[in-house]
Structure 1
Amino acid sequence: MNDALKSQYSLIVEFLGKALGPDFEVVLHDAEDHINSIVAIANGHISQRAVGGPLTNFGLEVISNENYKDKNFKLNYNGVSKDHRILRSSTMFIKDDDKNIVGMLCINFDDRRYKNISDQILKLCHPDMLIESNNAYESVDSLVSNAGETFYGSAIEEADTVIKNYLTQHNTSIDRLVQDDRIDIVDILNQKGIFKLKGAVRTVAKQLGCSEPTIYRYLSKL
């Protein structure tokens, strides 16, 4: 993303952050820099991120799968913060004259305060049945595992979460993983675009207890 666009959209981030209020996080990503992708951010307390943070798994998948080619934005999908708070997220794709993606303008809405008020009001009417029927999802954990976007501070955190989920789902441990298991995990991480991040191969190899050449060999098989 060139300096003119960064300056223009950084001002928009500041404006939207102040206009929408503290429950809305506004983030500008440079799609050409996956490691230090966050160029500007307002209300970063929501996801606990700051300028210089990496691109999210959603952003990596958008670039990897070229989902931006036939659309200009994606609205109202689930995001999950580092502390497992559910956010409602929307992203606009910033493109150059050749329709290549150069940046992303993201808005993440934290509805906790409004949900708490809603729950309190419903409890006045009927304390159990209405609250239960008003829930949009079974549990935070179930939504976290299927979230469209997760906000982590590094590739290490992202890879660690994927591996832990895999171990839990398959009721196993790192030392009991066979080659097919490791290939499956590498496949999942690859689909999420993790290996586009610098140092990701080294990180995953260490977490899976194998060598970097082994990870590259798995990737070549995939």
Structure 2
Amino acid sequence: MESTQLDFYRRLAKAIALQFGSGCEVVVHDLKSDPSHPIVAIENGHVTGRKVGDGPSRVVLETLHASKGRHFEDRIGYLTKTADGKILRSSTIFINDDEGNAVGILAINYDITLLRATRGLLSELCDTATESTEREPEPIVRNVADLLDDLIEQSVELVGTPVALMTREEKVQAIRYLNDTGAFLITKSGYKVCKYFGISKYTLYSYLDEAKNGPKEE
């Protein structure tokens, strides 16, 4: 982001955090900086344990991986989860340049852990408990290593087969998911993925090619 733009969002982050208190974390990601360290401003970082210079979230990786010119819709009021179990109500607002390209992200994460616990207690006391239809909260990680581990685990869950029992096609499906989520933008991700799936670097490139272009005709 440009310096004037960055200065504005730093001040906006501080204002939002002061307005809503210590349980409200506000983060500014610069998508034009080092993709491994995109956090350029953060208020109330104790909520997730992050700080300036820390790694990207999943949505940041997906945005960096996306083709130039793609329009991203803001996400408002979805649930996320920290490594230590806090439940957050989060919003992601994309910052665009004059041409409409995403150059930054303003993220708001409000700790609602106690509020949810209180709601549950009141619901039980008032006998108004209903079946939950909420989606599983998305994890928030502190560094790129944890994010890569999380994405790899999600790729295995998507396939639904333990790595040791995966067929070639299932491994390609897992690699496709990792590529689509931007996992390979993470430094040394290829080595870790190869080790996890028990494949060589050459095989990984072959799977990536197939994942991007579809299976080749024999």
How far off its partner does 1:70 sit? 4.2
- Match for residue 164 of structure 1? 153
> Which residue number corresponds to residue 143 of structure 1?
136
Answering whether residue 171 of structure 2 is matched by residue 182 of structure 1, we say yes
Q: Conserved in 1, the CA contact under 8 Å of 2:155 and 2:175?
A: no
Q: Indicate conservation of the 8 Å contact 2:35/2:55, yes or no.
A: yes
Residue type matched to 2:63 in 1? V
Could you tell me the percent identity over the aligned residues?
27
Q: Is the 8 A contact 1:68 1:93 kept in 2?
A: no
Question: 2 CA distance for matches of 1:155 and 1:181?
Answer: 25
The answer as to whether partners of 2:71 and 2:101 remain within 8 angstroms in 1 is no
**What is the root-mean-square deviation of aligned Cα atoms in Å?**
2.7
TM-score under structure 2 length normalisation: 0.81
2:35 aligned residue: 34
Deviates more, 1:42-51 or 1:152-161: 152-161
How far has the Cα of 1:41 moved from its partner?
1.0
- Asked whether the equivalents of residues 56 and 144 of structure 2 are also in contact (C-alpha less than 8 Å), the reply is no
Q: Which runs of 5+ in 1 are unaligned?
A: none
| Equivalent position of 1:11 in the other structure | 11
**C-alpha displacement of 1:74:** 2.5
Name the CA shift for 1:192/1:202 in 2 (closer, same or farther; >3 Å).
same
**In structure 2, distance between residues paired with 1:28 and 1:88:** 17
Q: Is the 8 A contact 1:155 1:194 kept in 2?
A: no
Matched residue SS, 1:108: strand
Question: 190, 195, 210: which is aligned to 1:201?
Answer: 190
Query: Aligned pair 1:123/2:124, yes or no?
Result: yes
| Bigger mean CA offset, 88-97 vs 162-171 | 162-171
Q: 1:65 to 1:171 in 2, by over 3 A?
A: closer
Point out the more displaced range, 84-93 or 38-47: 84-93
Aligned residue pairs total 210
Q: Deviations over 1:58-88 (max 9, x none)?
A: 1222343469844563212232322344322
* Number of the residue aligned with 2:105: 104
TM-score (norm 1): 0.80
Decide whether the 8 Å contact of 2:155 with 2:178 is kept in 1. Answer: no
Distance change >3 Å, CA 164–CA 61, structure 1 → 2: closer
1:81 alignment counterpart:
82
In 1, Cα distance between equivalents of 2:110 and 2:4: 27
C-alpha distance in 1 between matches for 2:83 and 2:112:
16
Give me the whole-angstrom Cα distance separating, in 2, the residues matched to 1:161 and 1:57.
9
Matches of 1:202 and 1:38, distance apart in 2? 25
Q: Which runs of 4+ in 1 moved over 4 A?
A: 66-72, 165-172
